[in-house]
Amino acid sequence: PPPLPPPSAMLSSRGPALCTALRRAAPGGLASFHSSARHCRAARVAVVLSGCGVYDGTEIHEASAVLVHLSRGGAEVHMYAPDVPQMHVIDHSKGQPAEAESRNVLVESARIARGKITSLAKLTTADHDAVIFPGGFGAAKNLSTFAVDGKDCKVNREVERVLKDFHKAGKPIGLCCISPVLAAKVLSGAEVTVGHEEEEGGKWPYAGTAGAIKELGAKHCVKEVTISFAAHVDTKNKVVTTPAFMCETALHHIFDGIGAMVKNVLKLTGK
């Protein structure tokens, strides 16, 4: 078959108006379109884990949802966890502490990260555009002492540093489920959500957390778990939160709500 005409000839056959529009949009020629695409950088997002398992570490479904939505959003992801012992180990089949066991938060988090994880001490704002904290009781046990001390809790030193550094740099912070208590404790006047403020017959079993958030000096905003109303965006502080498993509901609602949080975090990066 005869060879195809060069791209310029094919464009010309569609009329001079199209050629003129393309020249104005790309003065350097068609090659400049490819060049600009190569220079478009993905958002670099750090994900901070707190172990592996809802009752003593990161809630695995939440971590997975965060990673899926970040992947769909084209983000470059790096995972971190503090290199510290867990508060305790829970036998998830019984919901009871395994008294004779001890585990390391970084080592357990590596299970979710498929081994690709770094000590939280090495996380810097210079290398990332945003940071996200999935939930799970590890946020209240290993990243802080909230599970034991409530409003009088202390936050892990490296977690506090990361939150303050990203806030100071004006880079977005995403948190879901119980992890918004970290922002409430560290970032004065932050606006966050953990869902509703009443249990409503067991639908919101951890509703009391909202009261503790207020006692910490943060503003609590009532939100649903469904996608349309799931994420609260504190534009002033660039903090994005969503209830996730604070609500007893279908898994797909939680997945979609986390997607709303991730989408807003990526939007705030400006990438």
| Cβ neighbours of 204 (radius 10 Å) | 23
CA angle 111, 56, 103 (to 5 degrees): 60
CB 244 within 8 A of CB 254: yes
- For this structure, is 177 an active site residue? yes
Give the SS3 label for residue 137. coil
226 exposure class (CB count in 10 Å sphere: 0-12, 13-18, 19+): middle
Tokens of 131: 């940071």
Residue 55 and residue 57: Cα distance in Å, rounded? 6
3-state secondary structure of 119: strand
Rounded Cα–Cα distance for residues 106 and 117 (Å): 8
- Catalytic residue, chosen from 52, 153, 176, 177, is 177
CA torsion, ordered 4, 5, 10, 15, to nearest 10 deg: -140
Catalytic residue ranges: 177
